[in-house]
Structure 1
């Protein structure tokens, strides 16, 4: 999850077949009118970014054979077409600042032009162009992140993928936490409009699932603490840290294993979740305001330099 700062670094990372290099602004895209991408379309978006490579910001037509996509997705041709058309019809927006320092919001579809060859042709392909809005966002970007293609394709929840991309851009920063209002958290995760209206719903059906998948598969670990105003939850404090070498190796081994049984293996992590929380809290002990709790995936509060308490049941 190396953080990149120039297109030269993007070119260098093209040598790594597992690296998908994305502009930071793409991670922060918001969906217009309550639209949100399915998990399949979100993964396809990442792959098309990788396929375009250093020409991603150019006004050119990209092309990719169905057979290449199918090596990754193992879906029917109709399902792949549906995912492409979803990218063609979904409008996104991002907040930018002009060269004159004036803030503005830019909106547009993800793909502006799509051509599909019939199935009867040998090596039938899809040809596509990224929209002017998306190309402008990429061309003006000053911060980049490389994410793992294998991790992207392994996530089973669209909320996990969105949070993974968000944290990938921040994983190597000295800053190790960020306060996020509840409405902003829904937007970050890509929760559809009017869905998951209560905090309990966001926690159980989106955030906890995303944290568990990230801690299982990513090169960093994550946790959160609810922020209260009175008795009401108004947001969360997200915290993150790079995994120790041994934990990173475990994540890589899991990515090497077949997906079958992964959910059960992840459920087995419940037995060691206290250890993971302790390691995360210990790694962030010098950051003020970060805390551990007894809740899975959450953190409590320690003073800078103070060691977190051992998990319950440990000597």
Structure 2
């Protein structure tokens, strides 16, 4: 008896990751989107997830989408691009392969207040695609926000969609298909050497540095011209996964330098020592692991980690105790930093 497939809408996001339907990973952008557009769209999907296949409106705080930027202008611009974006999704229609053209985002209502709300809708045709989806990518939030280009984020999503397939470790794409999925604008990076140098190689380096997988894209020639590529992926071993975790703690410039193999030219400044935990926190709960405080300090420079711990203790006081307090604190810290940018 064949094993029943899990429906995508049955998968659940958690404190560290979000869900993206596979059909929205390998899509062709008729209207190219920016890195920020893609991040915001992933957040809108996550926020709507509990009722994403229902004809309802969804509400989210603009500050959540703004992230570390103090201006709402970029959010509004991204929303308008997402509303005007038309994508082509490969679907099955009456048992045959077909292309469905859909809009990514429906109508929305944005508060004029900087700390206001955004109300938005998922278009009906897109809801149907999501409802019928049986393949998805689980995206780590930290990695999504650490990647520095839309090409790297797209490649990461492609690998996360495929990484857990036990029967498959590679996939071939025509060069045109890869360009479409990665969102390369028409007329840009038209030859293989430029595409590889400007988009593919930097994306591969970042995904290899920050994700749980190693990936490579190999050229396939027809005659003398590159016409196809083969995407290959494999899960990292323990040492490589640890290196990816450490890479997430570096600044964006530091990550790029290390991904490009130029770290030997950088002399890092020593980080200041972690100051003692204040006595007033002792009555709020037992201390977390020292490594947790160090991680929080490295990920969120400029924040008072003990003040945020106090906020977390107050927020979680009426809730069930966390199974892993250290992970729960780091997840809360990430959300707190996004909502209260320095």
TM-score when normalising by structure 1: 0.77
Q: Which of residues 116, 119, 126 is equivalent to 2:113?
A: 119
Match of 1:142 in 2: 134
CA contact (8 A) 1:5 1:144 kept: no
Match of 1:195 in 2: 188
CA contact (8 A) 1:88 1:114 kept: no
Say whether 1:57 aligns with 2:53. Answer: yes
State how far apart, in whole Å, the 2-side matches of 1:213 and 1:255 are.
11
Match of 1:80 in 2: 75
State how far apart, in whole Å, the 1-side matches of 2:216 and 2:97 are.
32
TM-score when normalising by structure 2: 0.71
State how far apart, in whole Å, the 2-side matches of 1:132 and 1:89 are.
16
State how far apart, in whole Å, the 1-side matches of 2:6 and 2:214 are.
23
**SS class of match (2:82):** helix
Closer/same/farther in 2, CA of residues 269 and 24 from structure 1, 3 Å limit: farther
Q: Which of residues 185, 207, 210 is equivalent to 1:217?
A: 210
**SS class of match (1:74):** coil
Match of 2:148 in 1: 156
**What's the CA shift string for 1:60-111, capped at 9, x where partnerless?**
11111122223x242411111111111111111212113x314332212111
Match of 1:67 in 2: 63
- 5+ residue gaps, structure 2, are 265-342
CA positional deviation for 1:199: 0.6
Say whether 1:185 aligns with 2:178. Answer: yes
Comparing 238-247 with 172-181, greater Cα deviation is found at 172-181
Between structure 1 and structure 2, the one with the greater Rg is 2
CA contact (8 A) 1:217 1:252 kept: yes
CA contact (8 A) 2:144 2:153 kept: yes
State how far apart, in whole Å, the 2-side matches of 1:91 and 1:200 are.
28
State how far apart, in whole Å, the 2-side matches of 1:163 and 1:188 are.
9
State how far apart, in whole Å, the 2-side matches of 1:57 and 1:129 are.
11
The aligned length equals: 259
Q: Which of residues 35, 51, 56 is equivalent to 1:39?
A: 35
CA positional deviation for 1:57: 1.7
CA contact (8 A) 1:52 1:62 kept: yes
CA positional deviation for 1:237: 1.4
Match of 1:239 in 2: 232
State how far apart, in whole Å, the 2-side matches of 1:270 and 1:133 are.
47
Closer/same/farther in 2, CA of residues 7 and 197 from structure 1, 3 Å limit: closer
**SS class of match (1:111):** coil
CA positional deviation for 1:135: 1.1
**What's the CA shift string for 1:204-235, capped at 9, x where partnerless?**
11111110110011110101221112221111
Comparing 210-219 with 244-253, greater Cα deviation is found at 244-253
CA positional deviation for 1:261: 2.3
CA contact (8 A) 1:88 1:113 kept: yes
CA contact (8 A) 2:53 2:127 kept: yes
**SS class of match (2:106):** strand
Aligned alpha-carbon RMSD (Å): 1.9
CA positional deviation for 1:260: 4.4
- 5+ residue gaps, structure 1, are 272-315
CA contact (8 A) 2:169 2:233 kept: yes
CA positional deviation for 1:166: 1.1
CA positional deviation for 1:270: 8.2
CA contact (8 A) 1:97 1:103 kept: yes
CA contact (8 A) 2:6 2:134 kept: yes
